[in-house]
Amino acid sequence: MSGSILNKLAGVVILYNPESHKTLENILSYSSGLKKLYILDNSEDEEIEWEFLSKQIGNHVEYIKYGLNEGISKRLNIAAHKAIEEGYDFLLTMDQDSSFPEGVFKKYLNEIENCSIDKVGQFGVNFQPQFLPIQTSAIKVRSLITSGSIISLNYFLQVGDYNEDLFIDFVDADFSFRVNANGYKVVQFTNILLNHQIGDRVSGRSFKTFKVTDRIIHSPIRVYYIVRNGLYIMFKAKNISKDARYEILRGMKILKNNYIYHPQLFKIYQFTIVGIIDFLRNKMGKK
């Protein structure tokens, strides 16, 4: 990559009823590397504490409270278009519960600046080193999670907005697939680690080994979105390769533990059925 990213990088973090002080700590792990940070608050309460806390981050923060949860895709689009209008070339997208270990964000930016791969539409990181071996060089992949990704705003308008019909789950995969479909590359640095947790954890006993281990589960409404949106991308989304559709199918395996170990099994199966029905009815957006 030619030129420095440091003066061209904005960022966005989307909030929803956050633990304010913990989220502030997370933001501070990367905010100093940004020229502008948009804090877009989907929380429905009337608290204004974040207006005060955001001032601790620096005067490069723009905090907007919406008082209405309209999902992550709509907020990502707002941030991307704001950043373009204000002259930025790149946008870091973060979840409120994600952070970089000390010194890692600076290393991430150095990796991007030294990356020899051309026409990169999206850079990303490694949040599961236990499953994804660390390599010294960047690799091309089909998709990345939203949190920790840096998108090229120069290519964003060609790729198109994040899909607001998806509201939350698979918004990231859908965008990455379209980056590839438009002839740009999705690049991952497996040596850049992100602190990020998917879902909640409960203890569950294996039917094979009878060993008790932690299992990742999701709220019933998240199961609804995973089912509905996963089916949408696999069967209705346009310009998605067969390999990408198969990747979504593999990704939906994260639902397995919900159907076995979730403390609200009835609701999990209920929301799964509703997700399938809404997919068939083409009922998208917010549930």
Q: 179-217 pLDDT, tens per residue?
A: 999 999 999 999 999 999 887 776 656 656 667 667 789
In the chain, which residues have pLDDT < 50?
Answer: 2
Q: What is the pLDDT of residues 83-100, one digit of tens each?
A: 999 999 999 999 999 999
Distance between CA 100 and CA 68 in Å, rounded?
Answer: 28
What is the pLDDT, as a whole number, of residue 208? 65
Is the Cβ–Cβ distance between 235 and 187 less than 8 Å?
no
Q: What is the pLDDT of residue 58?
A: 85
* Domains by residue range for the chain, with CATH: 9-193 (3.90.550.60), 200-281 (no CATH)
Q: By the 8 A CB rule, do 184 and 99 touch?
A: no
Report pLDDT digits (tens) over 207-222.
Answer: 566 676 677 899 999 9
Q: What is the pLDDT of residue 11?
A: 98
pLDDT at 98: 97
- The DSSP 8-state label assigned to residue 86 in this structure reads T
Q: How far is CA 47 from CA 30, 59, 65, 94, 106, in A?
A: 24, 21, 10, 22, 33
pLDDT value for 205:
62
Tokens 């850049």 belong to 192
| pTM of the entire predicted model | 0.93
Residue pLDDT, tens place only, 124-143: 999 999 888 899 899 999 99
Name residues whose C-beta falls within 8 Å of residue 140's C-beta, 6 or more positions apart in sequence: 117, 185, 186, 187, 188
**Cα gap 262→121, rounded to integer Å:** 38
